[in-house]
Amino acid sequence: MKVGVLAIQGDFEAHRRRMEQLGAAVVEVRKPEQLDEIDALIIPGGESTTFLKVLGEHGFEKLKQFVLTRPTFGTCAGAIMLANRVENPSQPGLGALNVTIRRNAYGRQVDSFIGKGSAVADLECGGGPLEMVFIRAPKFEHLGSNVEVLARQGDDPVLIRQGKVMASTFHPELSDDTRVHAAFLKMVRNGNK
């Protein structure tokens, strides 16, 4: 099993190190053709509009085909990319998650913060609060009925799953807590259910 990390921007190296720490074989994906070589994908944070520009039309369509059929985990900008509706401002999404997401919902870069959230579903290795790093974070404004909330920050859902797709509005790769990545890896290893 190979997990790809979209290595266009963002801290893709932190995701790679975390997945390797958890025992996964990891490929840094820089070209659309590399999606054919992997079983699952992580789309890291960064700037979602930059992802769109760098991917181009062909890359966007190839990525869309992948995320609609294979296990994918998006963090921050990756969560924005996976949504079917993006606001503030509006932009295309890949449509893998039945959600409306609002970009930069918690404010500007200077408003970034580290919070403690609660897992509302089993995230492996026991319970307890999750450290959550929010950097110009988006917010899930609306969740479809088939979207499962895995963790919250206050009343806000911040980690969700729909079928083979997970998304977080925070950066789990910047915390020492491995539970979020472990939950994604378990989903991949359990036949993508």
Best CATH choice for the domain 2-189 from the list 3.90.980.10, 3.30.70.1150, 3.40.50.880, 3.40.50.2300: 3.40.50.880
What's phi and psi for 51, nearest 5 deg? -55, -45
pLDDT of residue 192: 45
pLDDT of residue 122: 65
Residue numbers annotated as active site: 76, 171, 173
Note the helical H segments in 68-108.
77-82
pLDDT of residue 92: 87
Instruction: Decide if pLDDT at 177 tops 50.
Output: yes
Cis peptide before 172 (omega within 30 of 0): no
Measure CA 68 to chain center: 14
pLDDT of residue 49: 78
Count, in order, helices (H) and strands (E) of the chain: 4, 12
Q: Where are the domains of the chain?
A: 2-189
- Element (DSSP H or E) covering residue 74: strand 72-75
Instruction: Decide if pLDDT at 191 tops 80.
Output: no
Side-chain-side CA neighbours of residue 173 (13 Å): 27
Residues 74/137, Cβ–Cβ less than 8 Å: no
Three-class SS of residue 101? strand
The 10s digit of each residue's pLDDT in 90-127 is: 988 999 999 999 998 887 777 777 888 888 766 655 56
Cβ contacts of 176 within 8 Å, gap of 6 or more: 131
The 10s digit of each residue's pLDDT in 31-76 is: 999 999 999 999 999 887 787 888 888 889 999 999 999 999 999 9
